Amino acid sequence: MIINHANLSILNQAFNGAFRLGLQSAAPMWSQLATLVPSTTSEEKYGWLGNFTKFREWVGERQYQNLKAHDYSIKNKTFENTITVNRDEIEDDRYGIYKTVAQQQGQDAATHPDEMVFELLNRGFSTACYDGQYFFDTDHPVGQPGKQSSVSNFQGGSGTGWFLLDTSRVLKPLIYQKRRDYTFVAKTSLSDENVFSRNEFVWGADGRGNVGFGLWQMAFASKEDLTSASYKDARAQHQSFVGDNGKPLVINSKELWVPPSLEAQALEVVQAERLANGATNVMRNTAKVVVCPWLAQ
């Protein structure tokens, strides 16, 4: 390949197309349990998290519902993925293999939010959410000031974690905050420092955003053995949650998320017609099983 401006422009278009193809061909999982929140600044504050309001019959004057303010924010971070290719490789027409690398960069960009979202979910047992407690904890404060009680969204145990999620709400258990889309940038001008000094072309992808916890009420975790009994108990606890006003939150524990190692147990709990003792499985089809490799951490 003759290295000139016209040919490099064509090459960059091809690499950018490969990146976009990779971006579109991936099947990320994060959107199933995280709400996308566009960001317009370096940090977004979520002081309103956890405020559940209810309608009432309008009799007399309006009744103002005081919303608690929480000091919870998510700061955006910048992420990059950059490759260098020796100029001679391109000159010798070996650019085909690097086009594949650009496509892989696109796939990596599409699934990078997965990496962030599920890493945070796995750290939910030791990382605080908006109310100052761990996201999965046994003593979340619920109720009006002075009348609060502790509510648990963690069943306990020390084994492999599994999760009941309500993903039907606008605000899901986690938040993916996006400040800037992932983009593909080329540094292939013959006057660029990397070409002049190191005889290298550079292609890089970068994006900006971060993840954080949404509503702990939408998630219930357990590290107990996944059995019909533990599933029933977790589901009953999860769907019994109430708001600060004492009204039911009407939780729908519609999804059972498990790592690959618990797939068989999960399917047996919610899909088998009968239990091991021959009794009817009354919990059959009460949740959708979602097997997520990112939970095998």
Q: What is the pLDDT of residues 102-125, one digit of tens each?
A: 999 999 999 999 999 999 999 999
* Residue 98 amino acid letter: Y
Residue 27's pLDDT is 92
The alpha carbon of residue 117 and the mean position of all alpha carbons in its chain are separated, in whole angstroms, by 3
Pairwise CA distance, residues 46 & 248, whole Å: 23
Residue 4's pLDDT is 77
The pLDDT confidence band at residue 71, using thresholds 50, 70 and 90, is low
User: Domain count of the chain?
Assistant: 1
Residue 62's pLDDT is 62
Task: Report the pLDDT averaged over residues 81-98.
Answer: 83
60 is a domain residue: no
235 is a domain residue: yes
Residue 231's pLDDT is 97
With tokens 């977004």, the residue in question is 44
58 is a domain residue: no
Residue 255's pLDDT is 98
Residue 63's pLDDT is 59
270 is a domain residue: yes
Tokens of 57: 């019959």
79 is a domain residue: yes
The pTM assigned to this predicted structure is 0.87
Dihedral angle of Cα 262, 264, 269, 273, to the nearest 10 degrees = 170
Q: Which helix (H) or strand (E) holds 212?
A: strand 200-213
Task: Report the pLDDT averaged over residues 29-47.
Answer: 92
63 is a domain residue: no
Residue 111's pLDDT is 96
Distance set, CA 272 to CA 64, 255, 281 (Å) = 49, 16, 7
Exposed/middle/buried for 41, CB within 10 Å: 0-12, 13-18, 19+?
A: exposed
Point out the least confidently predicted range of 33-42, 46-55, 191-200, 203-212. Answer: 46-55
State which residues form the domain around 279.
5-51+69-295
61 is a domain residue: no
> Can you count the helices (H) and strands (E) in the chain?
6, 13
The pLDDT confidence band at residue 253, using thresholds 50, 70 and 90, is very high
Dihedrals phi, psi of 180, to nearest 5 degrees:
-150, 135
Pairwise CA distance, residues 42 & 201, whole Å: 31
Q: What percent of the chain has pLDDT over 90?
A: 70
Residue 70's pLDDT is 59
64 is a domain residue: no
Task: Report the pLDDT averaged over residues 159-181.
Answer: 95
> What mean pLDDT, rounded, does the chain reach?
90
The pLDDT confidence band at residue 68, using thresholds 50, 70 and 90, is low
Greatest Cα pair distance, the chain, in angstroms, is 82
